[in-house]
Amino acid sequence: MSFKIRLTLMFSAVFILFQTLTVIVNDYAMRVNLNREAEKLLRSIAARAADAAARHLQPERGPDEAFTVPDPDELIRSVQSLHLNILEIAVFRLSEADLSGPAAGLGAGLLYGRYDRSVEPTDREDLENAMRSGEVFRSVGHDGKSILIGSFGFPGSGPLAVRIAADMSDMYGMIRDARNDQIALSAVLLLAAIVVSYGIARMTIRPLRHILGKVDEVASGRFDTPLAVNRRDETGQLAERINAMAKNLDVYMTKLKKAFEENRSMKEHLESIINHTTDAIHIEDVNGVLLRVNPAFEQLFGWSAEEAVGRRLPIVPESRLNEEREAREALLAGQMLPARETVRRRKDGTCIEVSVTTSAIRDRNGVIQAFASITRDMTNRKRMDELLRRSEKLNTVGQLAAGVAHEIRNPLTTLRGFLQLQQQTNKLNQRHIDIMLSELDRINLIVSEFLILAKPQATKFRVQDVRFILGDVISLLDSQAHLCNIVFNTAFDSEPCRVSCEENHLKQVFINVLKNAIEAMPKGGDIDIEVRKRPDWIVITIRDHGVGISEDMIPKLGDPFVTSKETGTGLGIMISQRIIQSHQGTMEISSKVGKGTTVTINLPAARPEEQAAESASETALAAGQREDGQATETAGSQ
């Protein structure tokens, strides 16, 4: 189907839809307005008839009023002569017996007018509802006519009820004739719209034929003759774009020819690189038959190109065949393999350590046709790595010694402070003794931790409340804080802040951070300590108001021997960061020179199952202790 026909059908469909909606809306509106006017007329006639009947039924009337009160029957005949579509008007005096009695009850209550078109019991229901609500309208069909029946109640006049039947067939016929005329007019307008839309479509398509001709020329590779642009509408803009496209294609074709020449030159360069690189390169098909080797391959493995091409060489030792098979299967599955260190065999049977990078070569359809491998001799690199490892071991020994001295100095300083305090007071404080024993245990633990390099030990995590751990650390450092005029301000969350941790390790972290905060405020001040519980994390914030740290040094914190203190080693932060990392947490440091430093530690909150397991373990331990106590008492009694 051509564009002209499609455009014509589209215009016709839109026009038909619009005209159909117009006819439906007009017909509905005319019927609604007609019924509204008819109901209004019937309501006026009913009021006049009821008023005349009520006044006529008055028992006593004066001589003047006798002449002014109209006769209801005369009024009904007058109304029917003026409105020919009024079929009948009936005025009833109704009582409860008339409404609840037999069908003949309505006829018995008729005062004036006619009541020939009886629709029982519908009339009875309409009059009953009219006596309650005032009026009821109903449309019925009778003898092929559309009749509108209005029932009106006047409870205060007797009571009286008026029933009026009006023939609406002629008026509905006029509406139907108007609708048919509108449909006929719409049909004529539709034919005119089809003719006009076809002409518009033809005028619209005419410039497109020239554009299609130009597109055919461009498809054939002719870009010279441009389209003449005589219009400024969308068609003219399309012609301009076609001219621009042809011009660009001409440029691109020129570039493509140039790129072809460059690719041929690049191929020659690649050939030169492959032939002159020091890495051995060989290409083999999916069956392992060599297709090509470079001179470096000949030098590394000992086979010449004539000996290697077309054969399957045993360059993979038997102990590495499974490894090579798995690598090929991974490549066939579409994976990318990184460089892997392995062993290869030379022609003389000796094995060498190499680094091999293998990649797949695919055709246009993505099917693997061959494998390209780059092999690098790693003998000299292995020797250099061994020398580097020995150097790193010596460096580690130095860091270990400095770390031991740094970590043991902290509890020793605490012990010295308590001893000096007791020496000054000449009193033996049992709480201080407990803390000093705890610090001695921590020294022993620190030494044990640094001995992990010689003999690794398992770390046992338990569910602990961070608030209690921090409380112990604050009590431990409280005496030193008083000596330095430092005040600890704590703000702990009211809810339990439990984490799965190694208690002594966390104490070591908190001591390191708090001691750094104390040393950062030589003139004293406040240290704010906050513990907040989040849905999945426990957040510990330690904030001092000391000298601060420069921005360029913050990223280096945690590196060995990087510190802002004159006598520090930088190992305290390094060990603290490693402890927090072992607890699956994070440690963030922010600082401003002259304003202070803030250390934020995020630890994952203990999961419910971990807390349940810890509670079960404590219950079992308590039960075991009770059983041991009972056994001891039994043995003592015996």
Q: Each residue of 347-392: pLDDT tens digit?
A: 888 888 888 888 888 888 888 889 888 888 887 777 777 777 767 6
Residue 428 lies in a domain: no
Res. 531: pLDDT tops 50: yes
Among the three residues 377, 404, 432, which one is the final residue of a domain in this structure?
377
Q: 293 and 272: one domain?
A: no
What is residue 635's predicted lDDT score, i.e. its pLDDT? 42
CA dihedral 278, 284, 290, 293 (to 10 degrees): -20
CATH of the domain at 319: 3.30.450.20
Domain identity same for 139 and 66: yes
Q: Which residues contact 602 (CB under 8 A, 6 or more apart)?
A: 537, 538, 539, 540, 585, 586, 587, 588
Do 121 and 231 lie in one domain? The reply is: no
Side-chain-facing half-sphere of 130: CA atoms under 13 Å: 27
The pLDDT, as a whole number, for residue 578 is 83
Q: Which domain holds residue 287?
A: 277-377
Overall average pLDDT of the 515-536 stretch: 91
Q: pLDDT of 305-337, one tens digit each?
A: 888 898 888 888 888 888 888 888 888 888 888
Q: Does position 191 have pLDDT exceeding 50, yes or no?
A: yes
In a domain, 584, yes or no: yes
Give me the pLDDT at residue 168, please: 82
Calculate mean pLDDT across residues 275-288.
Answer: 86
586 found inside a domain:
yes
Give the dihedral sign, CA 503/506/508/511. negative
Same domain, 491 and 620: no
Say if residue 352 is in the same domain as residue 463. no
Domain tally, the chain:
5
Specify whether the CB–CB gap between 139 and 145 falls below 8 A: no
How crowded is residue 69: how many other Cβ atoms within 10 Å of its Cβ?
Answer: 16
We report the CATH number of the domain holding residue 124 as 3.30.450
| Residue partners of 201: CB distance under 8 A and separation at least 6 | 3, 4, 5, 7, 8
Most confident of 255-264, 459-468, 598-607: 598-607
What is residue 465's predicted lDDT score, i.e. its pLDDT? 93
Same domain, 119 and 251: no
Residue 424 lies in a domain: no
Regarding whether 483 and 354 lie in a shared domain, the answer is: no
- The helix-helix angle for 169-219 and 234-276 (nearest 10°) equals 40
Q: pLDDT tens digit string along 496-519?
A: 999 999 888 899 899 989 998 998
> In this predicted structure, what is the pLDDT of residue 530?
95
- Whose CA is closest to 137, among 121, 126, 146? 126
State whether 565 and 616 are in the same domain: no
Q: Predicted confidence band at 456 (pLDDT cuts at 50, 70, 90)? A: very low
- pLDDT above 80 for 485: yes
With cut-offs at 50, 70 and 90, classify the pLDDT of residue 393. low
Is 120 domain-assigned?
yes
For the record, the structure tokens of 448 come out as: 């044990």
Residue 475 one-letter amino acid: S
Say whether pLDDT at 560 is over 90. no
User: In this structure, are strands 486-492 and 525-533 parallel, antiparallel, or unpaired?
Assistant: parallel
Query: Is residue 409 assigned to a domain?
Result: no
Q: 281 and 243 share a domain?
A: no
Domain ends where: 114, 146, 177? 177
Mean pLDDT of the chain: 78
In single-letter form, the type of residue at position 447 comes to: V
CA angle (96 as vertex; 91, 97 as ends), nearest 5: 90
pLDDT above 90 coverage of the chain, percent: 11
Say what the pTM is.
Answer: 0.35
Whether 422 is covered by a domain: the verdict is no
Q: Tokens representing 65?
A: 């009023």
What own/partner pairs with CB < 8 Å and gap ≥ 24 does 104-112 have?
111/53, 111/57, 111/72, 111/160, 112/49, 112/53, 112/72, 112/73, 112/76
Cross-strand partners of 344: 352
pLDDT at 636: 42
Provide the pLDDT for residue 183.
81
Q: Say if residue 443 is exposed, middle or buried (CB neighbours under 10 Å; 0-12, 13-18, 19+).
A: middle
Residue 289 located in a structural domain: yes
Q: Which CATH number goes with the domain that contains 485?
A: 3.30.565.10
Query: How far is Cα 445 from Cα 411, in angstroms, rounded to an integer?
Result: 11
**Alpha carbon distance 102, 108 (integer Å):** 10
Q: What pLDDT was estimated at residue 491?
A: 93
Q: What string of H, E and C letters represents the secondary structure of 473-508?
A: HHHHHHHHHHHCCEEEEEEECCCCCEEEECHHHHHH
Tell me: do 162 and 304 sit in the same domain.
no
With pLDDT > 70 as the criterion, what percentage of the chain qualifies?
A: 77
Last residue of some domain: 377, 406, 437?
377
- Given this model, what pLDDT does residue 335 score? 86
Is residue 346 scored above 80 in pLDDT? yes
> Do 123 and 109 lie in a common domain?
yes
Together in a domain, 456 and 511:
yes
Could you check whether the bond before residue 604 is cis, i.e. omega within 30 degrees of 0?
Answer: no
